Amino acid sequence: MNVTPTRLKEVLVLEPAVHGDERGFFLESWHQQRFAASGIGADFLQDNHSRSVQGTLRGLHYQLSRPQGKLVRVVAGEVFDVAVDLRKSSPSFGRWVGVVLSARNHRQLWIPPGFSHGFYVLSESADLLYKCTEYYSPEDDRALRWDDPELAIEWPLLKGRAPLLSARDTAAPGLRTAPVYL
């Protein structure tokens, strides 16, 4: 497995060894010992599967008092996946990183606790699988505005099409007024 730090050093791009032939391919998407040796000593409690149509933007989501680490991968389609550092005490507070994840490139993104997460669907549709280090807690769930000028995320939006957003994501606060981690 190849592990590449991003400009947010705790957020990692993971490229598993893919063994393929004319029948298809095989890869290890999770191997506790190998991931721990790469700096991801996470105990995952919940797996999620999300399907979205092209142009959907989900996020930027986080849980405030029960932060989730997420190991994200795409098993069908392609997305632009984003993590934002929401740890007020961090030197990279308010900075973001974006990575293209696809069924074709097999990349995974490790987003540690203390970061918000979102993605934009580039393909006709996309299926994401992600492992979480904490259970989903509806009362603790928060969202950060996807187009906050202070964050200045460079989303690769489809020309002439506004992203498909939930009402919650449309109304999410910007970084200045959103609750964040200490």
Which residues are catalytically annotated?
61, 130
Write the CB contacts of 153 (distance below 8 Å, at least 6 apart in sequence). 82, 84, 96, 98, 146, 147
Bin 59: left if φ > 0, else alpha if -120 < ψ < 50, else beta: left
70: which strand partners? 111, 132
- Residue 34's SS3 state is helix
Write the CB contacts of 36 (distance below 8 Å, at least 6 apart in sequence). none
* Best CA proximity match to 99, nearest among 76, 79, 114, 113: 79
Exposed, middle or buried by CB within 10 Å (0-12, 13-18, 19+), for 84?
buried
